[in-house]
Structure 1
Amino acid sequence: MGNTNKLKIFNDPIYGFITIPNSLIYDLIQHPYFQRLRRISQMGMSYLVYPGAHHTRFHHALGSMHLMQSAVKTLQFKGVSISKDEENALYIAILLHDIGHGPFSHAMEHSIVENIHHEELSLLFMQKLNNEFNGKLSLAIKIFKGEYHRKFMLQLISSQLDMDRLDYLKRDSFYSGVAEGNINSERLIQMMNVVDDILVIEEKGVYSVEKFLVARRLMYWQTYLHKTSVVAELILTKILQRAKELAQNGIEIVASKPLQYFIQNKISNNQFTDNDLLTFSYLDDFDVMSAIKQWQFHTDKTLATLCKMIINRDLLKIKILNEKPNSNAIKEIKQKLILSENISNKEADYFVLTGKLKNQAYSKKAAPIMILKKNKYLVDVIEASDQLLLKALSKTVTKFYICYPKQLL
């Protein structure tokens, strides 16, 4: 083991060669917790819409770290003091920022585990790794939690213009083929600076920020909130909820040991033990998809039907509406389904779904993207931009949806 070359190079289709900066980063990448990300899809069920969207959280984490390396070099070149320890902590924090994602990324947060955000799980994994690596992740954790005194470092990891967003927009655009999401992340990084401990963009980069925000808005409507992606993820969530309901009523549900554990136990954020975390670390897309392939033949008609929808890509019909659907119309659809399929009202709730989609490219409530003017004044990008469009992008656009079986058309 002592002779292992830990300064490896990854060949990435987006950026070319990505280098591992040191042996600690290499050891973290090699850890089973991180290797699991190779088996967690970046865009959930979006491959049902965009066949190329099969890239993983592993790709994204390495890409984000690469961009962080560029950002650190750029800021150091401009005279921003970043020590070797701080530099390393930034690489670790961005590398591990998504390590808590469950199968198909977001579906688990609403079904198998209850009210646990992936960022909370990422922090639990980081703390566990910190114990294993004798406290070498302590500074990274401090920055990740926003407890470090140099606030711009958190902005590089989590803000309205961070390395996470710069990578996933460019990467998801590439793999999905949605060209509107392609941003110039290199240009944005070259325009970064730090003033009064705030991450800023120099004035000549304002058009790149505008392009970034427009791309973010378009990517949400065209990919992340595409109606087929939305309905597929809803069905996946309902499959897991139904499996859990059946298991807790004593009905046999065949699944891998990790998935079985979360189906049979009610686990929420206030009681997530070390054993829960270890079991979660064994859970990935393959557990869920393998279970769905088996459950399509289950004796429970509701579970079997939902599973066949995913396996055969024969999904529920989804309608996007500008207004909240009429409650009487929903009741009418449910009643039709109950009569035609001879199912209970509770079972009908698995097939007639409603909800809303929100898209806001830029939030006025969150810490703003600040533009450094030539006269050294700092202004919000909305004020610095001559595009009226940016003011519109700061407004939340809400759309509603209703899903139901196609035979009710």
Structure 2
Amino acid sequence: MKNRKTNKLKIINDPIYGFITIPNSLIFDIIEHPYFQRLRRVTQMGLSNMVYPGANHTRFHHAIGCMHLMQKAVQVLRNKDINISDEEANALYVAILLHDIGHGAFSHALEHSIVSGVSHEEISLKFMHALNKEFNGQLSLAIEIFEGKYHRKFLYQLISSQLDIDRLDYLKRDSFYTGVTEGNISSDRLIAMMNVVKDQLVIEEKGIYSVEQFIIARRLMYWQVYLHKTGLVAENTLVNVLKRAKELAIKGVELPAGKALKYFLYNPISEDNFTDTILKIFAELDDYDVMSAIKEWVHHDDFVLSSLAKMIIHRNLFKIEIQNEPFEETYINKIYKKVTENSIIKTADLSYFVLSNKIKHQAYNTNEPIKIYTKKGKLKDIAKASDQLNLRALTKPVIKYYLCYPKKTQLV
């Protein structure tokens, strides 16, 4: 029986964009690779589904969507006589496809708990280099663009800037899956208005209102979705569960967990020792490992670990207060006292149960401006080109302070 050839020019049906085509066999083979397939098991929005039940889409969804939008962007720019070679176009598709491949389980939770000093961007780059070896150097240009080292800067801006392809997909996608319509940007319109002037990615003047809507949508999505108070509590609780597990593991306490998670719990992981061997173990670690371990930890003898694990599994989360000014130390101490007097929580473990921190978001950063290309051939920062007064206000960072602590019913 003859081997049947695999059809590598597949079509994927996406709920947002409809049919997405895979442009060539290299892209197909990267998507088929186990490193990329892991993204099917990493949620795009962490524990946001505790607030928005529909937010169960994955990093895989997002990466494929980005690749699709990048194909559109390349076509638009080529139609405007911007010279982009086939090699450069393909490098853009690879770079945007792999831009999030280094995200750990539940996105940012691992970065703040069991892996220290290594960001998901650095891990993404490690994955890219590993794949480049496997694919005999075919990813070299993609890596050069991803790192911002390629001489044509606008290609890097398509990957990473204030109006990049990544943001155009995640705002629209997260809006769709959460049902928060305020984030539903017109990615098609924004891409159609793209151009390149003096090696800079710009938006033509007639697209100014779409850019305004994009910046305002980003602000609304951050405060309404990404930094939602219940989502913050869930994320902090997850980080603390993993921190506690790591603390116990270092002391030699036996913890039920899958092989990959166990390795990261029982070994110190940092930028210095993040070898190719560790990368392979990291590639086996996903949301399923973390959640199945947390389900087991509900029954653990350690009070702190089991209490925090129960909060996540049963969605019985801390109370949270948010305000514009830092919480006074006397108020925090009052909460500490209340918690220790009414429960069996030890003073040494209070940091796991009373959390105080701040959140910061800047909807638009004038240091990396979105440039509007006027009909007179001038380049203007959107903040100055726009007659929308709100836009100037959005250039200022907004800082809020939060305090989480157990509800009365959680004090035992």
Using the size of structure 2 for normalisation, the TM-score is 0.98
**In structure 2, what is the equivalent of residue 42 of structure 1?**
44
**In structure 2, what is the equivalent of residue 324 of structure 1?**
326
Select the residue among 213, 216, 221 that pairs with 1:214. Answer: 216
Q: Counterparts of 2:128 and 2:117 in 1: how far apart (Å)?
A: 19
Q: Counterparts of 2:342 and 2:6 in 1: how far apart (Å)?
A: 64
Question: What amino acid maps onto 2:97 in structure 1?
Answer: L
**In structure 1, what is the equivalent of residue 249 of structure 2?**
247
Question: Gapped runs of 5+ residues in structure 1?
Answer: none
Aligned positions of 1:8-407 closer than 5 A: 8-365=10-367, 367-407=368-408
SS state at 1:391 partner: helix
Question: What amino acid maps onto 1:395 in structure 2?
Answer: K
SS state at 1:270 partner: coil
- Report how far residue 321 of structure 1 moved: 1.1
Q: Counterparts of 2:345 and 2:24 in 1: how far apart (Å)?
A: 59
SS state at 2:352 partner: coil
- Report how far residue 115 of structure 1 moved: 2.0
Q: Counterparts of 1:15 and 1:351 in 2: how far apart (Å)?
A: 43
- Report how far residue 268 of structure 1 moved: 1.0
Question: What amino acid maps onto 1:253 in structure 2?
Answer: L
SS state at 1:76 partner: helix
Question: Gapped runs of 5+ residues in structure 2?
Answer: none
- Report how far residue 346 of structure 1 moved: 2.0
SS state at 2:360 partner: strand
Q: Counterparts of 1:377 and 1:270 in 2: how far apart (Å)?
A: 47
Q: Counterparts of 1:318 and 1:342 in 2: how far apart (Å)?
A: 21
SS state at 2:315 partner: coil
Q: Counterparts of 1:24 and 1:2 in 2: how far apart (Å)?
A: 19
Q: Counterparts of 1:312 and 1:43 in 2: how far apart (Å)?
A: 19
Question: What amino acid maps onto 1:59 in structure 2?
Answer: H
Question: What amino acid maps onto 2:262 in structure 1?
Answer: Q
Q: Counterparts of 1:260 and 1:118 in 2: how far apart (Å)?
A: 20
Q: Counterparts of 1:123 and 1:58 in 2: how far apart (Å)?
A: 17
SS state at 2:107 partner: coil
Q: Counterparts of 1:120 and 1:2 in 2: how far apart (Å)?
A: 39
SS state at 2:163 partner: coil
Q: Counterparts of 1:149 and 1:79 in 2: how far apart (Å)?
A: 19
RMSD: 1.0
- Report how far residue 345 of structure 1 moved: 1.6
Question: What amino acid maps onto 2:175 in structure 1?
Answer: S
- Report how far residue 2 of structure 1 moved: 6.6
Question: What amino acid maps onto 1:134 in structure 2?
Answer: N
Q: Counterparts of 2:345 and 2:30 in 1: how far apart (Å)?
A: 50
Q: Counterparts of 1:338 and 1:374 in 2: how far apart (Å)?
A: 66
Q: Counterparts of 1:370 and 1:88 in 2: how far apart (Å)?
A: 26
Identity %: 63
Q: Counterparts of 2:387 and 2:331 in 1: how far apart (Å)?
A: 45
- Report how far residue 322 of structure 1 moved: 1.1
Question: What amino acid maps onto 1:281 in structure 2?
Answer: A
Q: Counterparts of 1:115 and 1:391 in 2: how far apart (Å)?
A: 35
Q: Counterparts of 2:89 and 2:252 in 1: how far apart (Å)?
A: 52
SS state at 1:331 partner: helix
Q: Where has structure 1 moved over 4 Å in runs of 4 or more?
A: none
SS state at 1:43 partner: coil
Q: Counterparts of 1:195 and 1:325 in 2: how far apart (Å)?
A: 48
SS state at 1:11 partner: strand
Q: Counterparts of 1:346 and 1:407 in 2: how far apart (Å)?
A: 20
1:234-282 Cα deviation digits (max 9, x unpaired): 0000000000001111111110000000001111112211111110000
Q: Counterparts of 1:276 and 1:318 in 2: how far apart (Å)?
A: 37
Using the size of structure 1 for normalisation, the TM-score is 0.99
Question: What amino acid maps onto 2:288 in structure 1?
Answer: F
